[in-house]
Amino acid sequence: MALSPDGRLLYVANGPSNDVSVVDVAARREIRRIPVGQGPWGVAVVRAPASGSVVDLRLP
């Protein structure tokens, strides 16, 4: 999991569904799912430019 720099959004890696949930912290609800590679394990948010990284544990 990773929190956005402003603390408004939480990003959660969903390994079984191969996506990342974006959660509105104040509303306590998922607002979006972002498809990513197979088996996401972790998420990191980079302050500038607005971007992030997802760690994938899939073996070749």
As a whole number, mean pLDDT of residues 18-29 equals 96
- pTM for this predicted structure: 0.81
Residue pair 37/19 in contact by the 8 Å Cβ criterion: no
Q: What is the DSSP string of the chain?
A: -EE-TTSSEEEEEETTTTEEEEEETTTTEEEEEEE-SSSEEEEEEETTTTEEEEEE----
Confidence of residue 12 (pLDDT cuts 50, 70, 90): very high
Residue pair 21/30 in contact by the 8 Å Cβ criterion: yes
For residue 42, what are its two tokens?
């972790």
